[in-house]
Amino acid sequence: MTLSSQIESLQKSRGASDPSFIKVLSSMLEQLGEEADARSQEALIRFARFPYRKTLEDFDFDFQSSVAKQSLQKLLDEDYLSRKQNLIFLEPPGVGKTHIAVAFGMNAAMSRSKVQFISCSELIARLREAQERNTYLRRLASFARPALLIIDEVGYSQMSSEDSALFFDVVCRRYETGSIIITSNKSYKDWGEIFGGDSVIATAILDRLLHHSKSFVLKGESFRMKERREDVRL
Ligand code: ADP
Ligand code: MG
């Protein structure tokens, strides 16, 4: 039954001036609104292509004490996205960098912002492929469009100077127009090495990325190892 036919049949049975009719109608409309919200949030979460769906509520801040929940919450409260601020999570594997990046992405999608999650190697591969197909500018624009671009695992593999130039293009296109979240297992001092040993391009990338940004250097033991140890103990 369509909404209008439901309203019509209610109207016939009760009369439009009946206060209970108005109540039923407004609750129906509210429900429809909520359903539409949930659908658009779900669509945005799917579009983002997160590797998993996790939030800050799922994060154990007692285990990972080098980052405080309050400082992450503060960024959300101060609306880092509309301030086009970048967030960078650095250092060892398994400490929750991707989890936190996904949590920020989920939060943005739930607030109806467009998010895209991509690994650094896939980002470069997509741009290279676009170059070959003469669709580079269009592809670059697609990475500039979302309110939030999450680039995961920067620095896991070294980039050539051509690849670094592609990365630089993405950072330039989004500079002061949209937030980037980066996770990396390398500290800033090793970034020259990531970008093909080209310290000029590494400096140019860092200069733009860090201008409006907040960095977090995580520490500690891998959560994966902790879980494995607990499994073994069982
Ligand atoms: P990395 O720092 O290598 O990106 P991930 O964020 O992928 O690590 O974390 C590895 C796994 O461990 C994920 O499943 C993540 O949800 C979980 N994890 C890591 N740290 C925590 C934590 N402090 N609380 C809850 N889960 C965590
Ligand atoms: Mg990771």
Domains of the chain: 49-229 (3.40.50.300)
For the stretch 85-135, pLDDT in tens is 999 999 999 999 999 999 999 999 999 999 999 999 999 999 999 999 999
Give kind and range of the element (H or E) at residue 36. Answer: helix 19-48
Residues with CB under 5 A from ligand 2 (ion): 98
Q: How many CB atoms lie within 10 A of CB 167?
A: 21
CA distance 101 to 141: 22
Ligand 1 atom having least distance to the Cα of 60: 24
- pLDDT number for residue 226: 80
List, chain by chain if needed, residues with CB within 6 Å of any ligand 1 atom: 54, 59-60, 63-64, 93-99, 183, 223-224
The strands making up 179-184's β-sheet, listed across from edge to edge, are 115-119, 148-154, 179-184, 86-90, 213-217
- pLDDT number for residue 16: 56
* Cα(183) to centroid(ligand 1), Å: 12
Q: How many CB atoms lie within 10 A of CB 91?
A: 17
pTM comes to 0.88
CA distance 9 to 42: 32
In percent, the amount of the chain with pLDDT more than 90 equals 72
| Chain position carrying tokens 């880092």 | 80
pLDDT grade for 65, boundaries at 50, 70 and 90? very high
Please name which ligand lies nearest the alpha carbon of 218.
1
Closest CA to 124 of 164, 152, 153: 164
* Cα(137) to centroid(ligand 1), Å: 35
